[in-house]
Structure 1
Amino acid sequence: MATIRRFEERLHDEIKTGEIAGFTHLYCGQEAAAVGVCAHLADDDYIVSTHRGHGHCIAKGCDVPAMMKEIYGRRDGLCKGKGGSMHIADGSIGMLGANGIVGAGAPLAVGAAISAKLDGRGKVAVAFSGDGACNQGTTFEAMNMAVVTKAPAIFVFENNHYSEHTGPDYAVGTARDIASRAEAFGMKAWRADGCDFFATFDAMRELLDHVRGGGGPAAIELDTERFYGHFEGDPQRYRGVGELDRIREERDCLKAFRATVTERALFDLAELDRIDAEVQSLIDRCVEEARAAPPPEPEDVLEDVYVSY
């Protein structure tokens, strides 16, 4: 969670320099959701991400320096500098890609889940999405197909209360109960506080026991918060007065984690501070290496266009 937070905060600063091209959508505030879900997954389990995908990538195990190089558009990036922020992928660890199209990940995850069912090794496929994607027909069709085929697909809805700039109270017919939509398709659904790592982790463990045990697809709605705008440069005029200050104070998942683990004597403050210092050093190195790395050559545009199976 600390790595995701520092990675995103550093991008927030670096984007102002003009060195990073294209749109960037930061994940700050939602770290407990990605980590609470992915902590249970193995390399051969699949995930499909969203336009706000850096946190999912890091939680699934993507190489952090190579991610930074990818966002900087460098040849040594995770996708050779051709994907950028919204299209990071690493098939070697089951990260099937971030996706710039809202709701487009759900059908891909169902396809991966069907393949996992056919190979019979107990793998699952997770589709991350948000309160915006819950309105998309692609998501509805994917949930229905997952139920019909009894595929081991998991639909994770991170409800950060803003589909770009519009709240679910206005845009979602079931308001703040997105999980009930999944239940309507015939699958079991869980609900958890996505700002609480332990609540997310425990709910996901129950859900995975159900899915890996042959119970069919499932969904989870995680109530979480987005600390930055929909995209970098978003003025966030749709926010209420004092809203960002409130959620940063009351619903910061890293603050909650720090309080819980020290109260339970799982870590002491010195250990947590050491982790934070190590993470900061890592992110500093990532940026230095990305700045120094070469961009793709012009002829690289002709590579990786087609894949032969």
Structure 2
Amino acid sequence: MTHRLVREMVRIRCVEETLAERYRDEQEMRTPTHFSIGQEATSVGVCAATRDTDVVYSGHRSHAPYLAMGGDLRAMTAEIHGRATGCAAGRGGSVHLVDHAAGFGGSAAILGEMIPVAVGAAWSFAMAGEPRVAVTFFGDGATEEGVFAESVNFAALHRLPVLFVCENNGYSIESPLRSRQPEGTTITDRVRSYGVTASRVDGNDVFAVHCAADEALTRCREGDGPYFLELDTYRWREHVGPNWEPDDGYRGKAEVDSWLGRCPIRQAADALRDTDPTIDRLVEDWYGEFRAEAAEAVEYAKASPFPDVADLLAGSDERTR
């Protein structure tokens, strides 16, 4: 399992770095993209603890959980290129990924939108008596939406099997958490006030994340009600887009450099080196393997057709035509 976790993080890193470079250089991806480069441990650690019957939902930063659940890479890449072979038929773009076969229920751009969707899924699991869990990923900014409070309260009231995963990267676009919340308070403490079990974990330590998620999912599955994980992490690139941000005042170079030094892939390799001296060679091999896989997925997407204009209204309600 330990090597699998590192391998999956490397794969997500390679895919996203490839897409970021192609996005900037080729100008063929016209959808907004929210990359998880630097945040790979959160998705990999949590999703590796799920079962095949569980369902995962995500907000706009969706590539990493989609891939961590085993989502089809070609279909994701085609979707980002707006092609008919995309997982949403080229209509949704980066923020509307879906792969039901892989247990990825969907993602959406509206802040907090998929949180109540996951709670609804968990309610259906509970009503059917099924040992399944709904997992929802979101950022720290989404915890300030009213729907988050409503969803946590409803889940606590009905003891629903839902795992709330907050990827706390410290910013809501360019607004730091310290400027949005009173000093001395935490997201975890606020969630505990609802009577929900909550833990705060180093989101760049994939092994700690996996351990915490495994416990959380077990408790949800056994009827203990909802669970909340706050995972402290950091996005390396801009909020939306492929670029490295200049030192423009909201994130200083020293802050960014300190988080670059806490790279989740490097941390995991460091932790394994004493017991497996081959880990560095393995990581290097994985980088080569997955860069090639990502490049092939891009070429597949570029060779795929655009959606036919005749299908523009396919799936829409007849009453709206």
In the alignment, does 2:254 pair up with 1:242?
Answer: yes
In 2, the alpha carbon distance for the partners of 1:247 and 1:23 equals: 24
Question: Residue 258 of structure 2 aligns to which amino acid in structure 1?
Answer: R
Return the offset for 1:306.
Answer: 4.8
Secondary structure of residue in 2 paired with 1:189: strand
Return the offset for 1:303.
Answer: 1.7
**Where has structure 1 moved over 6 Å in runs of 4 or more?**
none
Shift of the 70–233 alpha-carbon distance from structure 1 to 2, 3 Å rule, reads closer
Q: 1:4 aligned to 6, 12, 31, which one?
A: 12
Secondary structure of residue in 1 paired with 2:130: coil
Question: Residue 256 of structure 1 aligns to which amino acid in structure 2?
Answer: Q
Q: 2:282 aligned to 271, 291, 301, which one?
A: 271
Question: Residue 275 of structure 1 aligns to which amino acid in structure 2?
Answer: W
Is the contact made by 1:169 and 1:176 (CA closer than 8 Å) also made in structure 2?
no
Shift of the 176–281 alpha-carbon distance from structure 1 to 2, 3 Å rule, reads farther
In 2, the alpha carbon distance for the partners of 1:128 and 1:158 equals: 7
- Please give the root-mean-square deviation of Cα atoms over the aligned residues, in Å: 1.7
Secondary structure of residue in 1 paired with 2:306: coil
In the alignment, does 2:205 pair up with 1:196?
Answer: yes
Is the contact made by 1:86 and 1:100 (CA closer than 8 Å) also made in structure 2?
yes
In 2, the alpha carbon distance for the partners of 1:115 and 1:185 equals: 21
Is the contact made by 1:211 and 1:218 (CA closer than 8 Å) also made in structure 2?
yes
In the alignment, does 2:266 pair up with 1:258?
Answer: no
TM-score between both structures, scaled by the size of structure 1: 0.94
Q: What runs of 5+ residues in structure 2 fail to find an aligned partner?
A: 1-8
Q: 1:294 aligned to 264, 281, 305, which one?
A: 305
Where in structure 2 are the equivalents of 1:18-57 lying within 5 Å? 18-57=27-66
Is the contact made by 1:168 and 1:176 (CA closer than 8 Å) also made in structure 2?
no
In 2, the alpha carbon distance for the partners of 1:2 and 1:214 equals: 34
Return the offset for 1:255.
Answer: 0.7
Where in structure 2 are the equivalents of 1:108-257 lying within 5 Å? 108-173=117-182, 177-232=186-241, 235=245, 237=248, 238-249=250-261, 251-257=262-268
Q: State the identity as a percent.
A: 36
Where in structure 2 are the equivalents of 1:76-87 lying within 5 Å? 76-87=85-96
Comparing 275-284 with 187-196, which one deviates more in the overlay?
A: 275-284
Aligned to 2:114: 105
The count of residues paired between Structure 1 and Structure 2 equals 306
Secondary structure of residue in 2 paired with 1:186: coil
Question: Residue 277 of structure 1 aligns to which amino acid in structure 2?
Answer: G
Return the offset for 1:175.
Answer: 5.8
Shift of the 20–175 alpha-carbon distance from structure 1 to 2, 3 Å rule, reads farther
Q: 2:22 aligned to 7, 14, 30, which one?
A: 14
TM-score between both structures, scaled by the size of structure 2: 0.91
Shift of the 175–153 alpha-carbon distance from structure 1 to 2, 3 Å rule, reads farther
Secondary structure of residue in 2 paired with 1:127: strand
Is the contact made by 2:31 and 2:80 (CA closer than 8 Å) also made in structure 1?
no
Is the contact made by 2:45 and 2:207 (CA closer than 8 Å) also made in structure 1?
yes
Shift of the 306–256 alpha-carbon distance from structure 1 to 2, 3 Å rule, reads farther
Return the offset for 1:264.
Answer: 2.6
In 2, the alpha carbon distance for the partners of 1:176 and 1:36 equals: 26
Comparing 89-98 with 172-181, which one deviates more in the overlay?
A: 172-181
Q: What runs of 5+ residues in structure 1 fail to find an aligned partner?
A: none
